[in-house]
Chain A
Amino acid sequence: MPEPGIRARLRLAYPAFALDVDLALPGRGVTAIFGHSGSGKTSLLRCVAGLERAAGRLEVNGETWQDGDAFLPTHRRPLGYVFQEASLFSHLTVRGNLEYGMRRAGLPAGTDGTAPVVELLGIGDLLGRRPDRLSGGERQRVAIARALLTRPRILLMDEPLAALDPARKSGILPYLERLHDELAIPVLYVTHSVDEVARLADHLVVLEAGRAAACGPLSETFARLDLPLAQDEGAGTVLDARIAGHDADGITRLAIPGGEILVPRRPEAAGQPVRLRIAARDVSLALARHEDTSILNVLPATVIGFADVAGQVLVSLDAGGTRLLARVTQRSWDRLAVRPGTALFAQIKSVALF
């Protein structure tokens, strides 16, 4: 019985840069490959695709794509690849682009075959157009559809939003979230955006100078103080919660390990899963529970650790099984005079739900 998942032991040496990783990644869900520019994110993805020839071994859901001298060329690997720039074929219409890969993958082209993916990405009105008549966001959606239509066994996405302006970015993120919910294949998603990691990823690989600084489930890695993520303005925690119920006064209760989080009324029905993100800058600390505050979410927590980040203190907390990060000023930290192990209260000013 082949083991599901991705095993990548890859080494690639350039004069000024070397990639050297040994990764075991889950066989489904979105794995974000995070790192700053030059950390080797794109090289890693290109090695998985066979666009670069690394030394080592690569297995994807039980199939060996590379092992020593055996090297499956890119066009024989059942993968989908979305480049940073859409890279559509400018001599073909949108439909021509979509069908290019389908035909070669031996799938019946035509409306029946493309309909679900075309609908998923909202590109039904664009099929007759030429790529140079599309906006950047439309092009990228077509590129994603083109990759998905070959029914790949893994989807590789190289910063698909990086070339888009913020408005286009927020226009395409909902489509990526739908992909995340509906795809049964693993997705490797290269990004340098903490926000995209928080919204889309289940699993995280952090690359630094061609090596994996961390690799693990998002809930464990995202809030780590020792990774570059902690340096980011968007540092915080990501929690997978469920809608526990709706109260008559316009409040929705979310169940998290160790308690509940209250948010303004949500459209989702009770029992639905939601992902919420609590930024470190939105969490403050108090030694006593204050009832005379407008802040609804006050959770008892224990200090686990702390780190200096850009002149402030990033505090790691355990709130009854839920990990939280709080960012406080050095002066507040000194005044509180807490140490790892101290029990206190985390006041959560706001929560982002995806």
Chain B
Amino acid sequence: MSDADLVALWLTMRLAGLTTLLLLLVGTPVAWWLARTRSRLKGPVGAVVALPLVLPPAVLGFYLLVLMGPDGPVGRATQALGLGLLPFTFAGLVVASVIYSLPFVVQPLQNAFEAIGERPLEAAATLRAGPWDRFFTVAVPLARPGFVTAAILGFAHTVGEFGVVLMIGGNIPGRTQVLSMAIYDHVEALEYGQAHWLAGGLLAFSFAVLAALYSLNPASRPGRRRA
């Protein structure tokens, strides 16, 4: 691998790690709300969260570019706050990745929270646990398999993105050039050998992640029952 490839690998890992961390922070309350609300907004909010699943990444990237650009509302806000413009920066990539990978984190968490049901939380309430206490000492531990799935899917999905990155990040080595971009460049330059190294690495990585997910995560192990 060339130095440029290593830089792209490191950037990709930083991006995916940071994105996953932010997604767990943002996605957990959203998933908790979706799992428990009886509000009429549940449908629309759930649909917005799921949009990145069906939307072509180029469409998502295009609108994010417009929103965060110099004339977009987000762009004006970031400029007014002295943060400059987000497109073609690492921070812009993180914001776009968080939105792009949101359903991959929210949905496993929402399923895990829904699977817990009311009962353990009610039991905790009768044992003097207040709402926050119940959330952190009962809901989160019982949803642990969901958190593992969410973190792995969020990370892996961010590693693999292309279209959104291309629109928001461009392809600036060391700043916004991620692995998938590097592969694209190698193929364009007919450097199939190098492309194979990176593409094969990603393939192996994806397989390893999924294999770990399906074999280690207790939620997918048959014959386990809740007491």
Interface residues in chain A, defined as those with a beta carbon under 8 Å from any beta carbon in chain B? 49-51, 73-76, 79-81, 83, 85-91, 100-101, 104-105, 130-132, 134, 139, 146-147, 150
Contacts and interface: CB of A to CB of B under 8 A. Distances in A.
Given A89-B120, A90-B142, A91-B144, A132 B127 contact: no
A53 B138 CA distance: 23
A178 to B, nearest CB: 22
A104 B124 CA distance: 10
A125 to B, nearest CB: 17
Contact of B120 (A49, A87, A101): A87
B173 to A, nearest CB: 46
Contacts of A80: 126
Contacts of A104: 127-129, 133
Interface residues of B, number: 22
A139 B227 contact: yes
Contacts of A89: 120, 123-124, 138, 141-142, 227
7 contacts: A51-B126, A73-B130, A75-B125, A75-B126, A81-B122, A104-B129, A146-B127
Nearest to A80: B126
B227 A101 contact: no
B221 interface: no
B77 to A, nearest CB: 39
Given A87-B123, A89-B123, A91-B141, A134 B227 contact: yes
B125 A73 contact: yes
Contacts of A75: 124-130, 133-134
B40 interface: no
B128 A101 contact: yes
Nearest to A131: B227
Given A90-B142, A132-B226, A79 B133 contact: no
B38 interface: no
A132 B227 contact: yes
Contact of A132 (B123, B129, B133, B224): B224
B9 to A, nearest CB: 37
A86 B227 contact: yes
Contacts of A130: 227
Given A76-B128, A147-B126, A150-B127, 10 more contacts: A75-B129, A75-B133, A80-B126, A81-B126, A83-B119, A89-B142, A91-B142, A104-B128, A146-B127, A147-B127
Contact of A51 (B122, B128, B226): B122
Contact of B119 (A73, A87, A146): A87
Given A90-B227, A131-B227, A134-B227, A100 B119 contact: no
Interface in B184-227: 224-227
Nearest to A133: B227
Contacts of B144: 91
Contacts of A131: 227
Contacts of B134: 75
Nearest to B225: A132
A150 B142 CA distance: 23
Nearest to B128: A104
Given A83-B119, A90-B142, A101 B226 contact: no
Contacts of A100: 124, 127, 129, 137
Contacts of B137: 100
A46 B77 CA distance: 50
B131 to A, nearest CB: 8
Contacts of B120: 87, 89
B113 to A, nearest CB: 14
Contacts of A49: 126
A101 B225 contact: no
